[in-house]
Amino acid sequence: MPKTARLLPGVPVAEAVFADITRRVAALRERGVTPSLATILVGDDDASAGYIRIKQRQARQLGFDSPHRHLPAYATQHDLLDVIAGLNADPDVHGVLLQYPIPDHLDYDAALLALHPDKDVDGLHPLNMGRLALGLPGPLPCTPAGIEALLTHHQISVAGREVVILGRGATIGRPLAILLAQKRPTANAAVTVVHTGVPDWSRHTRRADILVAAAGVPDIIQPEHVRPGAVVIGAGVRYAGRRLLPDVDEACATVASAITPRVGGVGPTTVAMLFRNAVTAAEHATT
């Protein structure tokens, strides 16, 4: 049993993806195309506004246009759908990000459904989830795609190994299970999805070669839930104010062979995949 697990940072993974995106953006600009990622923010939540600023800054660094639409917290569903319709119809906008969460009186799922699937940089539109399930081309959900990229970058073999995902959410658990089970060199795993409604869920996590925590329950994964020598990926988090509360207790590093850091693990790869979806959308829209 290793005393301290090898860390699996996401920053070098993101940097490699951004280097590829920069090359692709330059090729688009040589053809007179400026890729564009539009953002929509509803309300004045400080954390959400901060995330938008980070994404806009990254967009500028990569050579994207980043038009922004900011609606007040009292905006109606019609107001939001009208903004989405305008961005759908704009040929100079290749990708659209609706920052989540939105105010409680608005229907996020209806807004997502109204977004053109090919401009959905989060990869969460129902049509894109269907494409994923059928193995058809389309934007991939960002966190699952980032996890696959992270494992590949750090040369952790997935094919033929047992992956257990704790969490069945639509943004991570379910799409990640589909993604890692697909027949590709960087996937092709035996995948089990469990959740906190499963009695003795740790019976499943303790047999995993690769354990992905995506429950959104702080510190739910303790050392006794991890098979010695396993790889542990922390994907689920909650926030207490600005304080990050990850699913994986840091003590798991005494049991695992490799583990994502508390900060700077899956997060940077998620952002990188968002921009990869955006540049791909720009390429498809202009060829």
- What is the reported pTM? 0.95
Give residue 240's pLDDT. 74
Query: Is 65 one of the annotated active-site residues of the chain?
Result: no
Given 99, 118, 119, 249, the catalytic residue? 99
pLDDT tens-place values along the chain, 287 residues long: 446 899 999 999 999 999 999 999 999 999 999 999 999 999 998 888 988 999 999 999 999 999 999 999 999 999 999 999 999 999 999 999 999 999 999 999 999 999 999 999 999 999 999 999 999 999 999 999 999 999 999 999 999 999 999 999 999 999 999 999 999 999 999 999 999 999 999 999 999 999 999 999 999 999 999 999 999 999 988 877 777 889 999 999 999 999 999 999 999 999 999 999 999 999 999 98
Query: Is 99 one of the annotated active-site residues of the chain?
Result: yes
User: Which uninterrupted H or E stretch holds 85?
Assistant: helix 77-89
Cβ atoms of 237 and 213 closer than 8 Å: no
In DSSP notation, 93-153 reads --EEEE-S---TTS-HHHHHHHS-GGGBTTS-SHHHHHHHHHT-SSPPPHHHHHHHHHHHH
Query: Is 55 one of the annotated active-site residues of the chain?
Result: yes
Given 120, 122, 209, 249, the catalytic residue? 122
